[in-house]
Structure 1
Amino acid sequence: MEQRNDLLTGESFTPSRSDQRFATRENQIRYNNNKARQKRKAKAQIDKALDTNRTILKRLLGDKKDIIKSRDFLLGAGFHFGVTTHKIERNGKLWSCVYEYILLHTKDDQLLISKA
């Protein structure tokens, strides 16, 4: 078989399998761990804001079906309005979602918060 270069270290090795890309199993593990770490690091800021938003909504809603809170109240609680997971249309209105919680902007800067 021909020589190949390890994707992590760049060292030259003779593969024992046709699909082998790393000289050792340890190099493969380190390569994949580094790749996963970079992915987590890239998403960390957004994931932290989403987790904060979900925690705030969970605490506010508690066992209630829905509540109405002001935008200023949510801002004061640390809510990040620019970060949501998705949007859904319900009864002809567009709701912003943070995981299982949904928010609808109503009049006078009020938000209806409910669990989907």
Structure 2
Amino acid sequence: MKEDNIETAIDPLTGEEFVPKRSNQKFASRENQIRYNNLQAAKERQAKAKTRKILNSNRKALQKVLGPNDEIVRSLDFLKGAGLDLQYCTHTIRINNLNWTCIDDYAYALIDTNIFKIVKLNQ
């Protein structure tokens, strides 16, 4: 006797109805799952692209300003002239009662009015 109450699922990528072989199966095929996940990752990369471009530019500016030095002191005008956009950073840390603004592995901190110290982290 055939059972008519077969559970079906809808594939999120194609919208097709299918009979899942496992209780947690969401896609009709492995190819659909891979394609769906790749599309989702592409959307996320695209959403972050503008910000990441600015962060990469900021990192290059700090790298260029620091040069071969372990640490250096520069004015706000100098940093802005080098291309640093102070509105974008990856994280902040607090070391020796000083707040450091970080862009990946570079950091800068305000040490006096419009004077910043720049360092490379994890040396």
Question: After TM superposition, is the score higher than 0.5?
Answer: yes
Distance across 1 between alignment mates of 2:77 and 2:54: 17
User: What SS class does the counterpart of residue 80 from structure 1 fall into?
Assistant: coil
Is 1:85 aligned to residue 93 of structure 2? Answer: no
Alignment RMSD? 1.4
In 1, Cα distance between equivalents of 2:64 and 2:117 = 15
Deviation at 1:76, TM superposition (A): 1.9
Tell me if 1:96 matches 2:101: yes
Point out 4+ residue stretches in structure 1 off by more than 4 angstroms: none
Structure index of larger Rg: 2
Q: Does 1:112 align with 2:117?
A: yes
Deviation at 1:17, TM superposition (A): 2.1
- What is the CA deviation profile of residues 7-41 of structure 1, one whole-angstrom value per residue up to 9, with x for unaligned ones? 11111011122221111222111110111011111
1:59 correspondence with 2:64? yes
Which secondary structure state, in structure 2, belongs to the residue aligned with residue 114 of structure 1? strand
**Structure-2 residue corresponding to 1:44:** 49
Q: Are positions 1:11 and 2:16 aligned together?
A: yes
Taking the aligned partners of 1:95 and 1:59, their CA distance within structure 2 comes to: 18
Aligned mates of 1:89, 1:3 — CA distance in 2: 54
- 8 Å CA contact retained: 2:65, 2:82: no
**Deviation for aligned residue 1:86:** 1.4
Identity of aligned residues (%): 44
Aligned partners of 1:61 and 1:43: how far apart in 2? 27
TM-score, length of structure 2 as denominator length: 0.85
Task: Give the aligned length.
Answer: 116
Cα distance, 1:108 vs. partner? Answer: 3.6
